[in-house]
Amino acid sequence: MREIEVVRYSHVPGINLFFNTVYYRTPHLHSEMEIVMVTEGRMTAVSEKTRVNAEKGDILLFNSTRIHELISADGCTFLCLQIKAENFRGCQSIYNVCFDHDCILSSLSADDLACVREQIYDIAYAYIDQLEGYDLYCHCRAGMLVHYLMGKLPHHMMTLKERAERKSRYERMSRLFDYVDHNYMKKILLSDFAEQEGKSMSYLSHLIKDTLNQSFQEYVSSVRLNAAAEMIMDSPDDKLLDICYASGFSDYRYFCRAFRNRMNMTPEEFRKGRTSAHREEIRAGNNESKEYFHSKEQSIRIMLDLSKLV
């Protein structure tokens, strides 16, 4: 698992756009500003200490390097637009802007929300259709979208000190996620990571609690539980006891109790009710999150439905 998202810009420098169906996305962060428009279903978005529910037509905004988690019981499809500020380095407004509130844009008026949806749709249409000059069009429209949001939402310009602090936290959390990634299947201690970082347990405990809104062990447990859920779906013939141990749990009773608390059902009930067969989606590349990225053909079909929202 790598919960620092490494986003590749194969189409437009500094801009990435895709449709995603998510059931669960573990806490993660990336260096891009992210704007999400829900096109189908419902989900809960958790950004540090903010927790909101979003449904079809809602728009979410996450500042760069801000940790967020996505949860949907029945699956939620959304259009995701990621904008890398470094590609607008010559424009200090985009490079330094930080919106004061993450998550749902509930403070906007109905007309303003409709305008934001239309701008996102226009960018998505050009990005997917790829007609001549689409890269320039997407780049310009993305800048105009951020400028529009700056005129409607509370924000501030980051100082050099704030940017350096955010960069430091981003890098440390990246190392933490990597550490959990490589060790969650065995006994894992925060003290070992603290020694690796040259920081005190107290400092790291507060950092993790402030950024993830959960303790280190709670985060590790959530990673293990979602790894177990994925194994149950992908390996229907494997024994649940073996899956328990493979996902890092040493006590089967504790595993079953934690699984029930997390999933609202036992591992046996989960196995009976879930299947790994999904509609043509492209699977995400880690075992601890459950999400599916859509192909270009599927994205075009979603775009046709999306046109009804704008």
Per residue in 171-213, pLDDT tens? Answer: 999 899 999 989 999 999 999 999 999 999 999 999 999 888 8
Instruction: Report yes or no: 60 and 35 within 8 Å, Cβ to Cβ.
Output: yes
Within 10 angstroms of residue 230's Cβ, the number of other Cβ atoms is 20
C-alpha–C-alpha distance, residues 216 and 180, integer Å: 10
C-alpha–C-alpha distance, residues 263 and 287, integer Å: 16
Q: Extract the tokens encoding 82.
A: 């990621």
Residue 286 has a pLDDT of 46
Residue 103 has a pLDDT of 77
Q: How confident is residue 83, by pLDDT bands cut at 50, 70 and 90? A: very high
Residue 106 has pLDDT above 90, yes or no: no
Instruction: Report yes or no: 153 and 99 within 8 Å, Cβ to Cβ.
Output: yes
Residues 6+ apart with CB under 8 A from 169: 65, 207, 211
C-alpha–C-alpha distance, residues 266 and 269, integer Å: 5
Residue 301 has a pLDDT of 76
The tens digit of pLDDT for each residue in 26-56 reads 888 888 999 999 999 999 998 877 889 999 9
Paired with 62 in beta bridges are 34
Assess if CATH 2.60.120.280 describes domain 15-159+282-306. yes
Element (H, E) at 194: helix 190-197
Domain 15-159+282-306 matches domain 166-273 at the CATH topology level: no
What CATH number labels 166-273?
1.10.10.60
Distances (CA, A) of 51 to 43, 70, 82, 102, 300: 11, 10, 21, 10, 31
Q: Where are the domains of the chain?
A: 15-159+282-306, 166-273
Q: How confident is residue 293, by pLDDT bands cut at 50, 70 and 90? A: low
Q: Extract the tokens encoding 199.
A: 């920081």
C-alpha–C-alpha distance, residues 150 and 251, integer Å: 51
